[in-house]
Structure 1
Amino acid sequence: MSGKGAPELSVENCGDLRVAVIAAQWHEQVMGGLLDGSLRALRELGIEEPTLVRVPGSFELPVAAKVLAEGHDAVVALGVVIRGGTPHFDYVCQGVTQGLTKVSVDCGVPVGFGVLTCDTEEQALERAGLAGSSEDKGHEAVTAAVATAAALRTVAEPTRGRQPAGT
Structure 2
Amino acid sequence: MSGDGAPQLDIDGRGMKVEIVASQWHTEVMDGLVNGAVEAAKKAGAKYRVTRVAGAFELTVVAEKLARSGADAVVALGVVVQGETPHFEYVCRSVTDGLTAIAREHMVPVGFGVLTVDTVEQALARAGLEGSIEDKGAESVEAALATALTLDSLG
TM-score range, shorter chain: over 0.9
RMSD (Å), alpha carbons: 0.9
The runs of 4+ residues in structure 1 deviating greater than 3 Å are none
Residue number in structure 2 paired with 1:129: 128
1:68 aligns with 2:77: no
Offset, 1:31: 0.2
Counterpart of 2:153 in 1: which secondary structure? coil
Q: Residue 53 of structure 2 corresponds to which residue in structure 1?
A: 55
- 1:106-138 residue CA offsets vs partner (Å, 9 max, x unmatched): 110000000000000000000000000000000
| Bigger helix share | 2
Normalised to the residue count of structure 1, the TM-score between the two structures is 0.89
1:149 and 2:148 aligned: yes
The gaps in structure 1 that reach 5 residues or longer are: 157-167
Report the CA distance between 1:8 and its aligned residue.
2.2
SS state of the match for residue 93, structure 2?
helix
Asked whether the 8 Å contact 2:126–2:133 carries over to 1, the reply is yes
Write the mapping of 1:77-96 to structure 2, written as runs, cut at 5 A.
77-96=76-95
Count of paired positions: 153
Instruction: Give the Cα separation in 1 of the matches to 2:43 and 2:9.
Output: 13
Q: For the residues of structure 1 that align with 2:22 and 2:57, how far apart are their CA atoms? A: 11
Per-residue Cα deviation, 1:48-96 (whole angstroms, up to 9, x for no partner): x312110000001111111000210100000000000011001000000
Structure with the greater alpha carbon radius of gyration: 1
- Counterpart residue number, 1:33: 32
Report the counterpart of residue 160 of structure 1 in structure 2: none
Query: 2:84, 2:8 → 1: CA distance?
Result: 37
Determine the C-alpha separation between the residues in 2 that align with 1:92 and 1:81. Answer: 8
Percent identity over the alignment is 55
1:13-68 CA distances to partner (integer Å, 9 max, x unpaired)? Answer: x2100110000000000000000000000110012x31211000000111111100
Report the CA distance between 1:151 and its aligned residue: 1.2
SS in 1 for 2:129: coil
